[in-house]
Chain A
Amino acid sequence: MARSKVMRVLTENQVWRSIFRHKLPSDDRNRVLVVLSNVFLHLHPTKVRKSGVRLSYTWCMGGLTFFIFLVEAVTGILLMFYYRPTAEFAFEDIKALGEHVPLGIMRELHRWGAHAMVITVWLHMFRVFLTGSYKPPREFNWNVGVILLVLTLLLSFTGYLLPWDQLAMWAVTVGTNMARATPFLGNEGPGAALLSIGDTQLVHPGSDVRFALLGGRFVAAGALLRFYVLHCIAIPLAAAVLMAIHFWRVRKDGGISGPL
């Protein structure tokens, strides 16, 4: 009785009622309302198959990937309080994050999380492939997932430059050299030579897609800032929107797929 009294004090007031428009989830209707009337939960189905929560079936890899994304967001925001994305300070700040800051493990958590996220996102894709969950009506969601996989890899790639050490410089030099070979958009790509007015090349090292990525013709201070903005703002934003679509489509396409 004591507990119900506490609940009554807690729930029977204007503040509680202004937030929660349903009663306590003691019957089916209110259990459904808990999910439907919550902006975050409503992306999720109100009911899932028994197999949907069976670890041996789903491996929970999609859920783990999302969890790690949240970990990366929280640790990443904390790191941003110390890290300055300039050629002068970047390397020193990364070292300071390990040595001069309480919980120097924060940067390592962010790095390990990045590795783990790439692993879990691949395993999630592998599970979806094995269970045939890419088949109609889920083929659109598979494509959303493929874009999310690419965004995950791009997050890793852009984050790789930020320590601003030799490994970062050369890894990104090598990685962005591939952008030179983009058809029509890269200066060494197929079709780029066709885009010219008279003798003037329209796509050259100062105007191609690699230049747009690096803000210069080679990896320098401009590239560091661009990768930082891509890493912290642009790609996470795109990934968050696509994740919302991805989860919502799971519900719309008939819930999490069951065993065949």
Chain B
Amino acid sequence: MSDEKQEAAGESTPESTESTAVKRPKLVPVRQAAAKKPAAAPQKEDEGITRRGLFSALGFGWLAFVAASGAALTAGTRFLFPNVRYEPPTSFRVGFPTDYTIGAVEERYKAAYGVWIVRNEEGMYALSTVCTHLGCTPNWLAAEQKFKCPCHGSGFRISGINFEGPAPRPLERYAISLADDGQVLVDKSRLFQEEKGQWKDPASFLRL
């Protein structure tokens, strides 16, 4: 009811104001303005926004928002991975084969590189110092000729084969070879697991 009243008022006022000298913008109710629009086609450009324009602007807006959010998320994730790692190299030289005593476990590289070098009658191999149970570092007990993990008591023979405690599989071996200068080269980026039959791979054992 009030709408109708307003419409009536809207139609009556323009006549009265136009007659006077003071020019004021016409106050027209929204519904009436919408109804009149098709008659005045050039007005469309003045209003500046069309249904199609609004939706394409919204579309571009959302697209830009999603793209920016995605870019920010990607940048944030990438930020967590540094370009430089302050960690020991994965490939390193551990001296000449003649430096090693047959039957001994070399512990010199344990702290820095996480590797034991073992020399036996046939050659050399590099054992990972990571316990295969939950990742602690076992200790070499020369008197008992075994690697013993202090966390949960897993035991490994000098070969790396597990024989006691919860460790489910032998210690892993790393790739070992002779470098050009005659030194022994250990490559930690290549792993050899006994239970997968990988210790038969010649790269896992340096035959001397």
Contact = CB atoms under 8 A, between A and B. Distances in A.
B134 A174 contact: yes
A177 B85 contact: no
B80 A216 contact: no
Contact of B135 (A177, A215, A220, A222): A177
B87 A220 contact: yes
Q: How large is the interface on B (under 10, 10 to 19, 20 to 34, 35 or more residues)?
A: 10 to 19
A211 B87 contact: no
A233 to B, nearest CB: 15
Interface residues of A, number: 15
A212 B81 CA distance: 6
Contacts, number: 32
B108 to A, nearest CB: 19
B164 to A, nearest CB: 19
B53 interface: no
B138 to A, nearest CB: 12
B151 interface: yes
A173 interface: yes
A79 to B, nearest CB: 26
Nearest to A180: B135
B81 A207 contact: yes
B134 A177 contact: yes
A216 B81 contact: no
Interface of B: 77, 80-82, 85-87, 114, 134-136, 151
Given A174-B135, A218-B87, 8 more contacts: A173-B134, A174-B151, A177-B134, A207-B81, A215-B80, A217-B85, A217-B87, A221-B86
Interface of A: 170, 173-174, 177, 206-207, 211-212, 215-218, 220-222
